[in-house]
């Protein structure tokens, strides 16, 4: 058996060793790392709300009213009026009967999958699903069948071979490629075969759709059974946590059976209050989504004119695939020399041979900053 030191050395030799950045500033487009001031294109703060003064003020007021911790799980004594109000407001926003808060998206996905499946069931999952959905399936005793990425036709064939309806799980917007799942096709297949569809909309919620309600709104799909929506609150909303939305019977089932909900301390109520403020901004300030779309279009047009091959993504996630892990690391290092922060994404986060720069945009970015990024990429990638 290899020692831990040997395993770490192997990672370093393969250019797969991960290191943390220590930020000395809020999450904004300009961040401070030690003595460096860097223009960041790697945050999921898509709407620029993580340091918004109204959200910060709501967090402060929530802490003054409720303290800094929930003290217990939701089912003991940790469910506050702030939590309850946020759940009702989230359900109203996405057009669902009910919503249920979870501490993280990871815990939400584990909770839903474990609560709705047993050893007699089948879970059908997209091969490029987020790790939380992959792990959720692994941790159940259900049979797992993986279908080729975004291939609804192949999924239809797989569903037809199983007698039990099963659970289909997918990212709505895939976190590393930025492309969208064929949700309309998946919704129809789930309805036809009596299956449930769990869509992880962590990267679509707040960003996509006329009103920011996410991928279902963007694709004009009603959020109704058999669909289950999971979305996070730490990306476009800029705060922390996650929620699951669906019909009342689903939410009540999760309250009774989702172990990652039952056996963990509730989010601090102050976080819920901050999220309520953030949700109000998402509702009121549609210009943020419009500006974000304009920045993505500007980047894609500029990158293509420079000869870069881009993925089929119109979302704020714009991967520049370089293939080799060492090459991606070197590109990231050289961009940092130009004052731009974009860490390299390498296996096992992405498949072998697809190491990349995962470029992400925020409504807080300016067109001038996008120009600066394009100029740096032209120098770094070509040179």
Is the domain of 344 the same as that of 371?
Answer: yes
Among candidates 261, 247, 216, which has minimal Cα distance to 115?
A: 261
What pLDDT band is residue 182 in, cutting at 50, 70 and 90?
A: very high
- Is 112 part of any domain? yes
Quote the pLDDT of residue 64.
98
- Is 214 part of any domain? yes
Residue 105 token pair? 């998206």
Where a domain ends, among 231, 251, 284?
A: 284
Quote the pLDDT of residue 317.
98
Find the mean pLDDT for residues 96-108.
98
Residue 220 token pair? 């004009």
- Looking at the predicted structure, is the pLDDT value of residue 221 above 70? yes
How many CA atoms within 13 Å lie on the side-chain side of 261? 26
- Looking at the predicted structure, is the pLDDT value of residue 382 above 90? no
- Is 233 part of any domain? yes
**DSSP letters along 152-176, please?**
HHHHHHHHHT-SS--EEEEESB-TT
- Looking at the predicted structure, is the pLDDT value of residue 369 above 80? yes
Yes or no: say if 198 and 169 are a contact pair by the CB < 8 Å rule.
yes
The residue that leads in pLDDT, 1 or 203, is 203
Is the domain of 187 the same as that of 144?
Answer: yes
Could you give the residue ranges of the DSSP H alpha helices within 95-182?
A: 105-116, 131-139, 152-160
For the chain, percent of residues with pLDDT exceeding 90: 93
- Is 322 part of any domain? yes
The tally of domains found in the chain comes to 2
Check residue 75 and report its DSSP letter. Answer: I
Is the domain of 304 the same as that of 260?
Answer: no
Quote the pLDDT of residue 311.
87
Is the domain of 243 the same as that of 292?
Answer: no
Q: What is the pLDDT of residues 145-170, one digit of tens each?
A: 999 999 999 999 999 998 888 999 99
Among candidates 333, 94, 92, which has minimal Cα distance to 227?
A: 94
Q: What is the pLDDT of residues 37-84, one digit of tens each?
A: 999 999 999 999 999 999 999 999 999 999 999 999 999 999 999 999
Query: CA gyration radius for the chain?
Result: 21
Query: Domain with 224 in it: what CATH number?
Result: 3.40.640.10
Among candidates 137, 84, 18, 124, which has minimal Cα distance to 276?
A: 84
Q: What is the pLDDT of residues 108-138, one digit of tens each?
A: 999 999 999 998 899 999 999 999 999 999 9
3-state helix, strand, coil in the chain (%, to 5): 45, 15, 40
Quote the pLDDT of residue 104.
98
- Looking at the predicted structure, is the pLDDT value of residue 7 above 70? yes
Yes or no: say if 267 and 79 are a contact pair by the CB < 8 Å rule.
no
What is the phi/psi pair of residue 190, to 5°? -60, -40
Quote the pLDDT of residue 162.
87
Cα distances from 206 to residues 20, 24, 107, 203, 337, in angstroms, run: 27, 27, 20, 8, 33
What pLDDT band is residue 2 in, cutting at 50, 70 and 90?
A: confident
- Is 7 part of any domain? no
Where a domain ends, among 265, 284, 303?
A: 284
What is the phi/psi pair of residue 196, to 5°? -105, 155
Domain assignment of residue 304, given as a range: 15-44+286-382
What pLDDT band is residue 264 in, cutting at 50, 70 and 90?
A: very high
Is the domain of 79 the same as that of 205?
Answer: yes
Question: What residues are annotated to the active site?
Answer: 175, 203, 235
- Looking at the predicted structure, is the pLDDT value of residue 310 above 90? no
Q: What is the pLDDT of residues 20-33, one digit of tens each?
A: 999 999 999 999 99
Mean predicted lDDT score pLDDT of the chain: 96
Q: Please give the sequence-ordered ranges of beta strands (E in DSSP) within the chain, or none if there are none.
A: 30-33, 36-40, 98-102, 122-126, 143-147, 167-171, 196-200, 227-232, 242-246, 317-323, 340-341, 344-345, 355-360
Yes or no: say if 287 and 122 are a contact pair by the CB < 8 Å rule.
no
- Is 1 part of any domain? no
What pLDDT band is residue 1 in, cutting at 50, 70 and 90?
A: confident
- Is 115 part of any domain? yes
Yes or no: say if 141 and 97 are a contact pair by the CB < 8 Å rule.
no
- Interatomic CA distance for residues 132 and 141, integer angstroms: 16
Quote the pLDDT of residue 163.
80
Residue 185 token pair? 């096709």
Residues with Cβ within 8 Å of residue 116, at least 6 apart in sequence: 167, 196, 253
- Is 213 part of any domain? yes
């Amino acid at each position: 058996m290899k020692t831990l030191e040997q395993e770490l050395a192997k990672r370093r030799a393969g250019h797969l060793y991960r290191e943390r950045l220590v930020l000395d500033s809020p999450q904004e487009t300009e961040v401070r790392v030690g003595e460096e001031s860097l223009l960041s294109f790697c945050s999921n703060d898509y709407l620029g709300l993580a340091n918004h003064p109204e959200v910060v003020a709501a967090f402060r007021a929530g802490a003054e009213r409720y303290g800094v911790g929930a003290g217990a799980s939701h089912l003991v004594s940790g469910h506050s009026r702030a939590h309850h109000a946020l759940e009702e407001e989230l359900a109203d926003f996405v057009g669902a009967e009910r919503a249920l808060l979870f501490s993280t998206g990871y815990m939400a996905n584990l909770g839903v999958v474990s609560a709705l499946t047993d050893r007699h069931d089948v879970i059908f999952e997209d091969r490029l699903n987020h790790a939380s959905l992959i792990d959720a399936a692994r941790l159940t005793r259900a049979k797992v069948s993986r279908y080729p990425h975004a291939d609804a036709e192949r999924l239809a064939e797989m569903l037809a071979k199983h007698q039990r309806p099963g659970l289909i799980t997918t990212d709505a917007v895939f976190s590393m490629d930025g492309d969208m799942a064929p949700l309309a096709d998946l919704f129809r297949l789930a309805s036809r075969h009596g299956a449930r569809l769990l869509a992880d909309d962590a990267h679509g919620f707040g960003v996509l759709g006329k009103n920011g309600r996410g991928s279902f709104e963007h694709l004009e799909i009603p959020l109704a059974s058999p669909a289950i929506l999971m979305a996070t609150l730490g990306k476009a909303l800029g705060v922390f946590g996650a929620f699951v939305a669906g019909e009342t019977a689903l939410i009540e089932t999760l309250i009774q059976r989702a172990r990652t909900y039952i056996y963990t301390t509730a989010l601090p109520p102050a976080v819920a209050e901050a999220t309520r403020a953030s949700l109000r901004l998402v509702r009121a300030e549609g210009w943020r989504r419009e500006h974000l779309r304009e920045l993505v279009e500007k980047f894609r047009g500029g990158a293509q004119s420079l000869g870069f091959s881009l993925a089929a993504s119109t979302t704020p996630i714009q991967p520049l695939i370089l293939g080799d892990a060492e090459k991606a690391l070197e590109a990231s290092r050289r961009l940092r020399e130009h004052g731009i922060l974009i860490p390299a994404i390498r296996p096992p986060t992405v498949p072998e041979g697809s190491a990349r720069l995962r470029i992400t945009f925020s409504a807080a970015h300016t067109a001038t900053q996008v120009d600066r990024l394009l100029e740096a990429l032209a120098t770094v990638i070509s040179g």
